[in-house]
Amino acid sequence: MSQVTVWYMTEEERLAYIEKHPIRSETPIGKSGKAYEWRGKKAAASRKSRKVMNA
């Protein structure tokens, strides 16, 4: 079984860590404020590939 190591950060350490390792979104957020517009393109590509496979 694996051993779990737990450590605690002070608020200053936490803020320094966040500044060094910022959380960035992988996809840019559009004008609507939603970052999931790619789903329409992905769904269309999936439907297209299914048509080719079923033909």
pLDDT at position 12 over 70: yes
Q: What is the pLDDT of residue 30?
A: 59
pLDDT at 39 over 90: no
For residue 51, pLDDT over 70 is answered with no
Helices (H), 1-55: 11-20, 38-54
Using the 8-state DSSP alphabet, how is residue 7 labeled? -
Contacts of 35 (CB under 8 A, 6+ apart): 25, 27, 28, 29
29, 35 contact by CB (below 8 A): yes
pTM, two decimal places: 0.36
User: Does residue 45 have a pLDDT over 60?
Assistant: yes
Whether residue 20 contacts residue 12, with contact meaning beta carbons closer than 8 Å, is answered with: no
Does the pLDDT value for residue 2 go beyond 60? yes
Which of the pair, 45 or 5, is modelled with greater confidence? 5
